[in-house]
Amino acid sequence: MALQRNVILNDTYQVRHLMASSELAIVYAGRDRNTGAKVAIKEFFPQRLAARQADKRGVFCSSRGFSGQYQELLAAFLVEGELLSTLNHPHIVSYVDHFEENDTGYLVMEYCTGVTLTEYLIKRNHALDAAFITETLLPLVDTLDYIHKQGILHRDVKPSNIMVMEDGTPKLLDFGSAARWPVQSGEKQAIFTSAGYSPLEFYSEKSSQGPMSDIYSLAALLHYWTCGQPPMDVKQRLFRDELPSVRSHNEYVNRWLARVIHWGLSVRSEQRCASLAWVKRSLQVQAWMWKIRKPGTVEWALAENEHTQIYEAEPKKQHETA
């Protein structure tokens, strides 16, 4: 399935070894032959739809009846490179190149050394301390504010899409679901969702989306950080929304931060926290409180690993990430 070692792409990038794979893409460690720099190469390869040609390089849609969906997903993949190329921020993975080859798409990015936020929190008993807030969470909030000011929504903020570097600073990854906003009249948004982290408006092609949509996902991430698990998925709260406060799981969270998280997780976007300034200030207060008095030990009911599902098993159905 994966490309073989030492394959050359775009006459420039040498594939070194497999790093990771998802249902939508394969990521390789690679090398820029011109500069010698180490890079990460992301190849569009939806596992349930695609297969390799006999030359072990080319990619084709192997699922009859899904060619339209395959092309739609490929187009979305290429948009990721276009959007990422417009961003320049220390806490966003840096763009290097993107191109089409082998009848598929490739995105080349900086090679980052670190661990996902999921791994980081598990190893550190969920890092309930002031340093984690100031070194990781507050820069992440500033990063989201930056991309919103560039007219972009990330639309897939979750722990597995954030890398924590060796110095504790974050890197926001995976702009595969990202989109420009405000959306033009009549324009449809592709549906990509992550269970527990996606707001209700991400489940509709024509819904109104904006910064408050990413704020929902950020609030879900803060719920995971403080409770050890994401909130109940929004689709399960449509008719009976009784989401408990994070303080019912973790008494060491101050009341202001708990309210902001709950506000950010409002099902209806018009009732949701609409400004990252509220999130930032509540985190700053929490950091100050934990500097004065460190929190005690919390027993975690840890969530299972995140799983990604990009599409339904029948043609012309909406595709999801969950």
Share of the chain above pLDDT 70, in %: 91
The span from the CA of 259 to the CA of 242, in Å, is: 14
pLDDT over 90 at 215, yes or no: yes
pLDDT value at residue 190 = 66
The span from the CA of 260 to the CA of 105, in Å, is: 40
The span from the CA of 164 to the CA of 153, in Å, is: 21
Q: What is the mean pLDDT of residues 188-195?
A: 76
Share of the chain above pLDDT 90, in %: 73
User: Mapping DSSP to helix (H, G, I), strand (E, B) and coil, where does residue 42 land?
Assistant: strand
pLDDT over 60 at 216, yes or no: yes
The predicted-structure confidence for 52-64, as pLDDT tens digits, reads as follows: 999 999 999 998 8
pLDDT value at residue 90 = 96
Q: What is the mean pLDDT of residues 182-188?
A: 65
* Average pLDDT across the chain, whole number: 90
pLDDT over 90 at 65, yes or no: no
The predicted-structure confidence for 236-246, as pLDDT tens digits, reads as follows: 898 888 899 99
pLDDT value at residue 81 = 95
pLDDT value at residue 142 = 98
Angle at 311 between CA 307 and CA 316, to 5 degrees: 170
Q: What is the mean pLDDT of residues 136-164?
A: 97
pLDDT over 60 at 177, yes or no: yes
Angle at 73 between CA 67 and CA 77, to 5 degrees: 140
Residue 111 CA from chain centroid, whole number: 17
Q: What is the mean pLDDT of residues 84-96?
A: 97
Residue 270 has φ and ψ, to the nearest 5°, of -70, -15
pLDDT value at residue 303 = 58
Domains, the chain, in order of start with CATH, read 8-110 (3.30.200.20), 114-292 (1.10.510.10)
pLDDT value at residue 186 = 57
Quick one: pLDDT band at residue 314, thresholds 50, 70, 90? very low
Q: What is the mean pLDDT of residues 195-219?
A: 90
